[in-house]
Amino acid sequence: MLTLAAADTLAGVAQTASKVTCTIMGMELAAGAEAYKCLDQRQLAATAATIYTVPASTQAFVRSIAVINTDAANTQTFQLFRGGTAAANAITPILILAAGGAAYYEDGRGWTMFDNLGQLLQRAALSPILSAVLLADTANQVSTTEAIVSPVLTVPANFCNVGTTFYFDLAFSAAQGAVAQTTPGILFQIRWGGLAGVAIASVGTITPATLLAALPGRLNGFMTIRTIGATGTAKAGMVVDDPRGTRVTAGDMASKAGMSAAGTGVVIDTTVAKDLVITCKTTAADAAGITFGTGGFIVMERP
């Protein structure tokens, strides 16, 4: 049970505003009178803010908390605080809600997590996971200007541990240009901080070998956090399978790998929220373009 004195506060924050509903149930004790009630119910903001203040000359006792992810498509995170919103006031870690899922706190039992079907998530399966899935085809990438071609995975501030690993897998369809050898090559990069963020690793181009219609290709790889903090470090590796590379028979693919430079890793800031994305640009403009299709995803697992 959480016991709060007069004027004491509870605060909360969610990964995305207006996606996480928090309901706090308990009892207020004033002048010997007990009032059992809903102490507060609201959707949490994306910035930590006070959600309940104990009235004057009153004590409050929190018996249960229900936190619901109203976003059926994406995981969401939340955190609760007492007496302020600084890290020193946190009373929960950053907890992860399954897409459409829920978390319940009960006095004497702690937290219990459920998926969107109301099924209990076993303790062994509660290692925090964030994910982002590409649900629809993106527009063709036909430009030498770098653009995001993956789902955008927003990693909350201070969420990463040493060893946190991201896995990504993208499908794409690469067409040949009007004349053999003229289709541009593709350059992929994984960036921490969105399109203008730090490039962790890249995989370069494969020169088209023959005139081809659009054929499926694939990009996959990983990124691992080596150290955390404002000057944390990360390393990554990527592999692209391009159907337009040197081919022996129809269906063959040419593969090319890329990884972070040797050393301690690329410097990144894990203390503020960052978007993890995969970007693409072509070596020359080409109307045939490259279409990124369904089935792409980024998953983050935190030890």
pLDDT for the residue numbered 57: 96
| Dist CA 215 CA 173 (whole Å) | 5
Predicted confidence (pLDDT) at residue 298 exceeds the cutoff of 70: yes
Average pLDDT, the chain: 83
More reliable by pLDDT, 235 or 242: 235
Q: Residue 12: left (phi > 0), alpha (psi -120 to 50), or beta?
A: beta
Could you tell me the two tokens for 288? Answer: 């045939």
- Domains of the chain, earliest start first: 2-123 (no CATH), 131-301 (2.60.120)
Could you tell me the two tokens for 79? Answer: 């955190």
Are 8 and 40 contacting, i.e. CB atoms less than 8 angstroms apart? no
Distance of alpha carbon 85 from the chain centroid: 23
Are 103 and 111 contacting, i.e. CB atoms less than 8 angstroms apart? yes
Are 233 and 164 contacting, i.e. CB atoms less than 8 angstroms apart? no
Q: Please, which residues bridge with residue 199 across strands?
A: 191
**pLDDT tens digit sequence for 93-120:** 888 888 899 999 998 888 998 988 888 8
The phi, psi pair for 89, rounded to 5°, reads -100, 0
Paired sense of beta strands 297-301 and 186-192, if any: unpaired
Of 182, 133, 168, nearest in space to 288 by CA:
182
Longest alpha-carbon distance in the chain: 87
The phi, psi pair for 65, rounded to 5°, reads -135, 130
